[in-house]
Every structure is written in C-alpha cells, then in structure tokens.
Amino acid sequence: MNYLRAQKMGNQKPWKKEELKAGLEHFYEQYKHYPTAPEIDKYTYLPSTRTIERSFGGIIRLRESLGLDGQYDLRTGIHSSERAHKINKRSHIIKHEVYEFLIKIFGKEFVHREYFFLDDKRTRADFFVYDQNKGFCVDVFYPSDKRNLVGCLNSKLSKYNCIYMQQYPVIFLQMNKDIDQGIIDNIVKNKINKLSKDQKLMCWGTFELFCKERKPLSVR
C-alpha cells in the first residue's frame, strides 16, 4: 500500500492492473463497496479517473476485466438501490426539518409543500411560503460536496428557467453543514451561468436569518 501511495503522489511509473486491483480491494475493505468516480479521485491508493479512462478504458471496463464482484457499473444493482434508499431517506428528514421550521415562523396555513406551478407534476417547488412580500419558493437539496453542489445547482437553474417559476423569489437551500455561506458565495460569484436577482443559494444559517426578516401573514 505504501507503494501505491507513492504512485498517487509522485506518478513515478504507469499503473499496472495488479496495483489498481489492490487499491480497489483496499477501498472495498474499508467502505464495503467499490468506489465511484468522485471517490476514486479522492482516494490515496488509486490514480485519477482520467488516468483510468486513458489507460484502461474507464472504471467500468477496469472492474470488469479484474472480475471484481460482478458489479461493474455502480449506477445499477445493489449499490445503486442502497444509495437511492439512503438519499431518499435523508431527503425526507431534511425536508421535514425545513417544514417544521417554516410553519413555526409563518404558520401552517401559509406553508405549502410540493407546490405545483403547472399540472405537469414536474414544474414545482418543495415549498411555497405566503408572506407579506407576496411569498417565496424554497428548493431543498443535500450536495455531497462542492462539486456535487455545482451540478445540482445547474440542474435546478435549468428547471427554474420556466417563466411560471420566475414569478417569485426562489431560495436554493443546500443542507450540507460542511459547506458554509462563504464557500457558497464564492461558487455563485464564479459561475458562468449566473443566478437571477430573485434566486439565492443559501446554507441553513443564512436561510434562518432570511426567514426571520420576512413578515408573516396573520390569520384573520
């Protein structure tokens, strides 16, 4: 393993299949699954996915040629199902947390979950909140890291490009506590595809302050 670490850091010689197999198996021993592309790029005992693509035709072909576990594409199969279950469970938890926070400030009558702008069942926001400023939308997500955050944000900007979804301010609320507002602001500042003036990317702390500064409607 020390040699593989030196390979990663120094790139002394071309990687051999035996070395890659050792690195993949070492990862499996630690995490009980073979690594995805982002995990490979971060792992000490493996080269970059670009190196694997150039030398071995990609990670799927490499795992197949090594005969590792018969599961060559982690986008399918047991690993994919377990990952989807984990993501859905986490999504349910964080959206419930956001909902409970919103109704404490604005009242249950004025917080709508799964707000549909059109009847196509796709043009929707996670929440729409009515307040004295005509309301705002909230789209909640949990990026695994900065790279994933950028990808999620680009997808959401495409979704909210619809004219019907530009009638109200939109808060893109990312819930990974390891990504603070300073990191977020730097990402937004350097994006080529800019957010509109009524779109904001926030972490939880910034969102709390934003909501507390809005004026709730009162029940008559």
Instruction: Give how far Cα 117 sits from Cα of 41, 98, 154, Å.
Output: 40, 20, 20
Q: At what angle do helices 146-159 and 181-190 cross, to 10 degrees?
A: 60
SS3 173: strand
**Residue for token pair 């730097």:** 186
Q: Structural domain boundaries of the chain?
A: 2-75, 88-213
Whether residue 92 contacts residue 99, with contact meaning beta carbons closer than 8 Å, is answered with no
pLDDT tens per residue across span 68-82: 755 545 555 555 555
- The pLDDT of residue 174 is 96
SS3 121: coil
- The pLDDT of residue 219 is 58
pTM for this one? 0.63
Residues of the chain with pLDDT under 70: 1-13, 69-88, 115-123, 219-220
- The pLDDT of residue 189 is 94
- The pLDDT of residue 168 is 85
pLDDT tens per residue across span 120-139: 656 678 999 999 988 999 99
- The pLDDT of residue 81 is 57
Residue 203's nearest CA partner among 133, 129, 140, 128 is 140
- The helix (run of H) or strand (run of E) holding residue 53 is helix 49-56
